[in-house]
A and B are shown apart, each in its own frame.
Chain A
Amino acid sequence: MVSSTEFGQGTKTVLCQIAAEALGLPYENVEIAQADTNEVPNSGPTVASRTVMVVGKLVQSAALGIKQTLIASGLLGDSYSPEEFRAACRSQVATLGSFRSWARYEAPADVFWDDDKYRGEAYAAFAWAVYVAEVTVDLTTYTASIDDFVAVQEVGKVLHPVLARGQIAGGIAQGIGYTLYEKVIWQDGRMQNGQMTNYIMPTSADLPPIRVFFEEMGNIHGAFGAKGIGELPMDGPAPAILNAVEDAVKFRFNSIPLLPEDIFEALVDREPHAAGRVR
């Protein structure tokens, strides 16, 4: 039971995987409660790349607590079948009335964060990534398009390859969107382009193949060594793409979204005599 919310990122799946792995049970034997705040404890919001790493670690600890309690009370041996586990739980419940295991987050002892001065080590672990964009700038239309995009992430441990890859690809797509397409047009404090027809999100015809790779260096503070990944892929695309554009047209852009109109103005500014097609 956690307050983490599923919205397609795979929270329910991965947390059940963690519990199953910790308990030595098949994945199908684990159920996760609906995150009804009337029922579940407060495990924080589903944000900040923390679900698998922080909440997952608590699930892992709580699950281990269940297992250790059953073993300590002699109801289970060191290895057991799912049926034996079920029987042990039933006995425990029959004796005690209910059987619960809690885990509460404690900041790691070797991480010092000063909340008054906002100084120190904010987190116990960091995930790392490298993003590479290959970009073509069309000098007839001044459009930058991405031909290839490679992402390498060091995330401690990949708990579910398909879900993890989906998160990275989706985050990169969003990053590409706000790098090259998603301009918000303001007038008198009001957004002028708030419709799908004029707020330009990339379609399937605009995104490059996105190639995703993982490295796993472990993390003692996360569930089975995992680190958070939700926000990670949002950070790299814009700098990678702008660096690639700079490499192509030898002009340094430092704001996003970078639209063809911006590339045009910069190139024309630099070579005002080369009317029209600028090289």
Chain B
Amino acid sequence: MRSNPTDYQLVAPADLQAVLSLLAAEPGGWLPIAGGTDVMVQYAAGKLPARKLVSIWNLPELRRMEVLPDEIRIGAGCTYTELREHELVQREFTLLARAAAWTGGIANQNRGTLGGNIVNASPAADSLPTLLAYEAELVLVSVRGERRVPYRNFHTGYKKMELASDELIRTICLARRFSGHLAYTRKVGARNAQAISKVCIAALGRCSGGVVEDARIALGSVAPVPLRLMETERLVTGRPIDSSLLALARKAAVAEIQPIDDIRSSARYRSAVAGNLVVEFLEQLGAGENRT
């Protein structure tokens, strides 16, 4: 390991208020660490700039899952294991349950958290396109109080986000209105498990008489941030699903994304596969598979 533990401080306050007070006392001075599946990798590689960390693992306020009639509220400290095993998430938020199930291996799912996935803000993060598709809202907290923001505005650029230096994500809220939609999601990685995605898609759709009533298409790994394909969605909504729509949708999707060449894959491959995935989603939608 390339970091020296004696150079680091790690404290574990007993409750959320204590953590928020610490963050307020020294904004930007303390890096929150939950399950550590991202932070500790950087630390082991000698690439963690922060020297003072505050543990938010196991804060009960962040681990709650509240089920209300019209929404569920997922604590930011909930792990992927908790998400994939939660009966309601499996049933009504399939995209999220599946993304949780293919993030890392079992050991990483037991420690990685949804909040951590959001603030680590990797463009390849598995859960983030699902949150875009479900139009999630985030509850952010600090000593100054709390505010609720739409997730779609949260990432402002590569690893940049609308989060004040003394704020934490406390809850992720998902409206319970998508069980009637077709849920389509695929992750394309270098292998079937423990892979960082080359392209991933989370899409919801509703179709009636072969005509698209509603389509939400979100992709990961094709831009500096997870992306909703608003133009492609606008193009297909209200139109019958036929081969010419598929061709148009493919073209529109490819135009909306900005994939790059990197260590994992190529821009050309990502474009082609992204187009294929959008087409596959629409084909399934048109085939009348209106079940999650």
Binding site for B on A (CB under 8 A): 139-143, 145, 181, 185, 192-193, 197-198, 200, 202-206, 260-261, 264-265, 268, 275-277
A276 touches B276 (CB 8 A): yes
Q: How far is the CB of B269 from chain A (nearest CB, A)?
A: 4
Binding site for A on B (CB under 8 A): 41, 105, 186, 188, 190-196, 250, 263-266, 268-269, 272-273, 275-277, 279-280
Q: Which of B105, B191, B264, B275 has the most CB of A within 10 A?
A: B191
Can you name 18 A-B residue pairings with CB atoms under 8 Å?
A140-B276, A141-B188, A141-B276, A142-B273, A145-B192, A181-B190, A197-B41, A197-B196, A198-B196, A203-B191, A203-B192, A204-B193, A260-B269, A261-B268, A268-B268, A275-B272, A276-B275, A277-B275
Give Cα distance in the complex from A245 to B196, angstroms: 25
Give Cα distance in the complex from A145 to B191, angstroms: 10
Known: A141-B273, A197-B41, A277-B279. 7 other contacts (CB 8 A): A141-B188, A202-B191, A204-B193, A206-B192, A275-B250, A276-B250, A277-B276
Name B272's contact: one of A202, A206, A264 (CB within 8 Å): A264
A276 touches B279 (CB 8 A): yes
B272 touches A268 (CB 8 A): yes
Q: How far is the CB of B106 from chain A (nearest CB, A)?
A: 11
* CB-CB nearest in chain A for B187: A141
B188 touches A143 (CB 8 A): yes
Contacts A141-B188, A277-B279 known; A203 to B193 CB distance under 8 Å?
A: yes
Q: Which A residues lie within 8 Å of B264 (CB)?
A: 198
Q: Which A residues lie within 8 Å of B188 (CB)?
A: 141, 143, 260
A200 touches B191 (CB 8 A): yes
Give Cα distance in the complex from A203 to B272, angstroms: 26
A181 touches B272 (CB 8 A): no
Give Cα distance in the complex from A204 to B191, angstroms: 10
* CB-CB nearest in chain A for B194: A203
Decide if the interface of chain A is mainly helix, strand, loop or mixed. loop
* CB-CB nearest in chain B for A196: B194
Q: Which A residues lie within 8 Å of B194 (CB)?
A: 203
Question: Which 6 A-B pairs give the minimum distances between C-beta atoms?
Answer: A205-B193, A205-B192, A276-B275, A140-B276, A200-B190, A261-B269
Q: Which B residues lie within 8 Å of A268 (CB)?
A: 268, 272
Q: How far is the CB of A203 from chain B (nearest CB, A)?
A: 5
Give Cα distance in the complex from A193 to B265, angstroms: 12
* CB-CB nearest in chain A for B280: A140
B193 touches A264 (CB 8 A): no
Q: Which A residues lie within 8 Å of B190 (CB)?
A: 181, 200
* CB-CB nearest in chain A for B261: A261
A261 touches B280 (CB 8 A): no
Q: How far is the CB of B268 from chain A (nearest CB, A)?
A: 7
Q: Which A residues lie within 8 Å of B268 (CB)?
A: 261, 264-265, 268
* CB-CB nearest in chain A for B278: A276
Q: How far is the CB of B27 from chain A (nearest CB, A)?
A: 32
Q: How far is the CB of B166 from chain A (nearest CB, A)?
A: 32
Q: Which of B105, B190, B280 has the most CB of A within 10 A?
A: B190
B196 touches A275 (CB 8 A): no
Q: Which B residues lie within 8 Å of A204 (CB)?
A: 193
B275 touches A261 (CB 8 A): no
B269 touches A142 (CB 8 A): yes
